[in-house]
Chains A and B, each alone.
Chain A
């Protein structure tokens, strides 16, 4: 720690702090445009000027100097800095005047208005009139893809976007061409950006140069209601803020959460918003003569009750979907138990994971923040860049810090960090487990190695054997040791860990999802937002969901549910972190929250569930699964589960691992209903075709 005196207050700060950070620690507010905690330091906006005593006789850019580089006073006194002297104010005013010289006065028509760094800081350091007589600079707007709208006249060349794309997103596509007055931010020949994190450049831009294309001219920040919530587009569970106007969700922004998403979110998380408006189911439907007709809740429930009464308990089943909250699944499980059925499952993809193996067998035990502590990584059957874009940014962050060998087994993936491709299938994993591969040595030598197992790799016939083999490899490679459990399962679905925790899997003699979907096994099948499975004809399908997607097309009765911003629900992310999503809006039309539908349905079936409100339901759920009570925390799994999983054994197939996601942008019904996601998908496809051609 180093002593420094800032504005007369002595304070102890770490020597690696920048002057800016030291000043912040001392409580002084330093204006800045180019400096960002998670990006490299550029030092080009000059807004953070301060005065350093004994330094050069001019203001110092506080973001670009370390505390350790300050000189002490003549008698060894601590270095002295000032942030509020007339010299500092004048210097900053000068910088601001230069920034405003070429900045258009279009705040009234600028989407950044009201949440603009330049606007805010101009209030403090701006001059009310211009001394600039010449023509303002004009810059052509650039095309950057479907998500980022540009208005380059407003750009102040802080290069945050360039640094973000290069450093965090790992796609060196943005750059600053030309120089001086002619400097322009652009992609190479204005190609669309290919990152799945590109939406974040909009948040980073301190002015209105990069704004959100889908959200253009949609709303002003001060007219939006803000609700803190959790994302369900993947199993990472990024912290988000849902902005609503009236009952309409206008946009989704990231929320700071160091343990999960830092301050990034993926494009799917951010721009799925328009999917919440289209294709919505807003009233119950009943299929008559092959066509769905609108119906009342009563009619719908009566139709279901008639079918349920006519069938035996063993011929009733339920499949939960990827976006289901824990409460919904708990209520549905309860209902099926009341009906006497053991046919319930959430593993639409044929996933082999089983809660009976223990919690550590299916959690991302290393934790997302723990990736930064790891010192070697083996990726098995996963493409983290697409399956969990934000988590992938964490892997990249760790890789950039150096000394982080990464091996990949499975389909070749376009990962944005250097990695060693080891092989395609379980054979290679078995070789590694036996220590027959040079990469095994690297893992063994590492202090905290990680094994990242993709959910796609165990979603196959021999999934159990593969999970067991991976656990065996984890044990033999030292991935699980005292104080460190690097055996990490990467799920794709937001509901997966919650469902496993709740035991939403077939009971003794119950049918699995794939068995329920085939012809003739069931009479009545409840789909709780399950759209990723093809149900054969025969069974009477009750679809509880939000969108007119695959599940609704197959349904005989549709019960309209609430999408994730429209209900409060508990989701457990891939680490096992229990998080509660907030309710930002209301379901459309006659749609209701899913748990309430199930509760009402239970009444109609004469098996009333013992809770009348969400708190009562939660109470019952917490009683059965106490760890769900610990919101925002992880209840770690027992490392012994991994050894148990390893001893399960089994003979894996030779078939290579396949990618879990076909299309990053179209993984769930909400995304499939979104025009923006469709645009992104087309762009990504075009890019893939281009790179394949090269």
Chain B
């Protein structure tokens, strides 16, 4: 955590696309009249998506205007939550989990690799493909270590498969979301270890 400020270089304008505006109005409609400010986080989130993964100043002001809030009130929210990026990020923004379970399972290597391949945290590579940041627990400890890249979780990372993953992303090739090793979701590695005869589960199903 450090002091978070708006980026120095800012786009001149921001306005929701027609589609996003419809979506925003639907969010606002969820709250009673006069309580439209409750929709500030969803709207900021959408604005961040539209702006390419970060919140320009004009987006903050645009959201404030839509919600009839003071600019400072929206800025308070945007600076409070670290998932709102205030400066541009790469096309693939890598959030590596560094909390205890991931750390114990080798998150250090993933972080080292990010350092080597991308650079400092929040630094955007020259090709604009990557930026990375170490984050606190994202709740996929079972499949540690893991990283979230844009909207998806990539789990069971090793230096090798993580390198491969970034290569594929950079090349625009399709990648597998979720565990990067051979397992389904968070099922045991190498297949089931209990109830392996199939009877119990089928008995369960029948009853």
Contacts and interface: CB of A to CB of B under 8 A. Distances in A.
B72 A175 contact: yes
B70 interface: yes
The CB with the most chain B CB atoms within 10 A, among A173, A178, A181, is that of A178
Interface in A164-186: 172-182, 184, 186
A188 B58 CA distance: 13
Contacts of B125: none
Contacts of B2: 182
Q: Pick from B4, B72, B75, B76 the residue with the most CB of A within 10 Å.
A: B72
Contact of B76 (A176, A180, A182): A176
Contact of A188 (B1, B4, B72, B80): B72
B73 A178 contact: no
Given A172-B70, A173-B70, A188-B70, A179 B75 contact: no
Interface string B41-62: 0000000000000000100000
Contacts of B80: 177-179
A177 B3 CA distance: 9
A182 B1 contact: yes
Residue with the greatest number of chain A CB neighbours at <10 A, chosen from B6, B57, B80: B80
B86 to A, nearest CB: 10
A interface, over-half SS:
mixed
Max chain A Cβ within 10 angstroms of own Cβ: one of B57, B70, B73: B70
B72 A187 contact: yes
A178 B72 contact: no
B76 A175 contact: yes
B3 A188 contact: no
Contact of B75 (A177, A180, A181): A177
B1 A177 contact: no
Contact of A180 (B1, B6, B70, B71): B1
B3 A178 contact: yes
Chain A contact patch, size range: 10 to 19
Interface residues of B, number: 14
B129 interface: no
A180 B73 CA distance: 17
B4 to A, nearest CB: 6
B79 interface: yes
A373 to B, nearest CB: 26
B1 A181 contact: yes
B42 to A, nearest CB: 20
Given A182-B2, A182-B3, A182-B4, A177 B79 contact: yes
Contacts of B3: 140, 178, 182, 184
A177 B57 CA distance: 14
B197 to A, nearest CB: 52
B72 A173 contact: yes
A174 B2 CA distance: 21
Interface string B6-21: 1000000000000000
A176 B4 CA distance: 12
A175 B60 CA distance: 14
Given A180-B1, A181-B1, A182-B1, A172 B73 contact: yes
A685 B122 CA distance: 40
A188 B75 CA distance: 7
B70 A177 contact: no
A499 to B, nearest CB: 42
Interface in B54-111: 57, 70-73, 75-76, 79-80
A179 B75 CA distance: 12
Contacts of A188: 70-72, 75
B181 to A, nearest CB: 37
B1 A175 contact: no
Contacts of B70: 172-173, 175, 188
A27 to B, nearest CB: 39
Contact of A174 (B1, B4, B57, B72): B72
Contacts of B57: 189
Contacts of B1: 180-182
Contacts of B72: 172-175, 177, 186-188
Counting chain A CB atoms within 10 Å of each CB, the highest count among B6, B73, B75 belongs to: B75
B76 A177 contact: yes
A180 to B, nearest CB: 7
Interface centre among A172, A177, A182 (most CB of B within 10 A): A177
Contacts of B73: 172, 175
A184 B3 CA distance: 9
A182 B3 CA distance: 5
Nearest to A177: B79
A178 B79 CA distance: 5
Which has the most chain B C-beta neighbours within 10 Å: A175, A182, A187?
A175
A570 to B, nearest CB: 43
Contacts of A179: 79-80
Contacts of A180: 1
B15 to A, nearest CB: 15
A174 B72 CA distance: 7
B71 A178 contact: no
A595 B75 CA distance: 56
Contacts of A178: 3-4, 79-80
Contacts of A174: 72
A273 B196 CA distance: 87
A227 B3 CA distance: 44
B1 to A, nearest CB: 6
Contacts of B79: 177-179
A175 B4 contact: no
B91 to A, nearest CB: 27
A181 B80 CA distance: 11
A182 B86 CA distance: 15
Contacts of A186: 72
A186 B2 CA distance: 16
A628 to B, nearest CB: 45
A21 B4 CA distance: 38
A177 B78 CA distance: 8
Contacts of B76: 175-177
A180 B2 CA distance: 10
Contacts of A187: 72
A178 B73 CA distance: 12
A177 B72 CA distance: 8
Nearest to B70: A172
Interface string A190-223: 0000000000000000000000000000000000
Contacts of A184: 3
A188 B65 CA distance: 14
A189 B61 CA distance: 11
A172 B69 CA distance: 9
Contacts of A181: 1
A692 B75 CA distance: 23
B89 to A, nearest CB: 19
Contacts of B4: 177-178, 182
A260 to B, nearest CB: 29
Nearest to B82: A179
Given A175-B70, A189-B6, 16 more contacts: A172-B70, A172-B72, A175-B72, A177-B72, A177-B75, A177-B79, A177-B80, A178-B3, A178-B79, A179-B80, A182-B3, A184-B3, A188-B70, A188-B71, A188-B72, A188-B75
Interface of B: 1-4, 6, 57, 70-73, 75-76, 79-80
Interface of A: 140, 172-182, 184, 186-189
14 contacts: A140-B3, A172-B72, A173-B70, A173-B72, A175-B73, A175-B76, A176-B76, A177-B80, A178-B3, A179-B79, A179-B80, A182-B4, A188-B72, A188-B75
Closest CB pairs A-B (n = 4): A172-B70, A175-B72, A177-B79, A188-B72
